[in-house]
Structure 1
């Protein structure tokens, strides 16, 4: 059974803070099963947007894991525009921003390579 979106977001925010980074919930979505999008920023100001990976990429041994894929790596304005587009399609989505500090975002979220 997969944990709720709200619990997953709370856990990743806590993990980032405990590792010395910064995290914020930019948009709260549906508590139980809202799609989660993750914006990452590094110390150089580079930003990336990760969205839910396709169902085909899920491991049958661990179907409860949440996996993400890179959607866009660009300026903050283009990322915000993409989030707005996704929100028109699914108003129940979550948006979490991570600034993982010295660590890589892949230490906090499962990233699928496409």
Structure 2
């Protein structure tokens, strides 16, 4: 069983603060199964947008953890805003979480284009 969205987001916020960063919920979505987008800001002024990884990255349903893919990397904030606005139109129950860390460490799993995990 997958962790409910609000629990995952809450844990993500606590872990980001524990790493010395900042985190906030910019948009609250459906508590049980809302899609989660993570917006990472760096001191350099660039942003990276992480979106849920497509289901084909999962191994036969055995792994129930949330995995993300990089949708936009090292982009301008306006470009990330535009992508998120499009996602909100498609799924109004989505979550948007912002973290301000230069290194996200192992806050969440990111899959490579070949499907391998990059923590």
Deviations, residues 37-89 of structure 1 (Å, cap 9, x unaligned): 00001121110101000111123475221000011121101101110000100
> What is the aligned partner in structure 1 of residue 107 from structure 2?
108
Indicate the RMSD between aligned Cα atoms, in angstroms.
1.4
How far apart in 2 are the matches of 1:91 and 1:26? Answer: 13
Deviation at 1:32, TM superposition (A): 0.3
1:52 matches 2:52: yes
Report SS of the residue matched to 2:85: helix
1:27 matches 2:27: yes
Q: TM-score under structure 1 normalisation? A: 0.92
Stretches of structure 2 lacking an aligned partner (at least 5 in a row): 114-119
Stretches of structure 1 lacking an aligned partner (at least 5 in a row): none
> What is the aligned partner in structure 1 of residue 94 from structure 2?
93
How far apart in 2 are the matches of 1:25 and 1:62? Answer: 29
Deviation at 1:34, TM superposition (A): 0.4
> What is the aligned partner in structure 2 of residue 2 from structure 1?
2
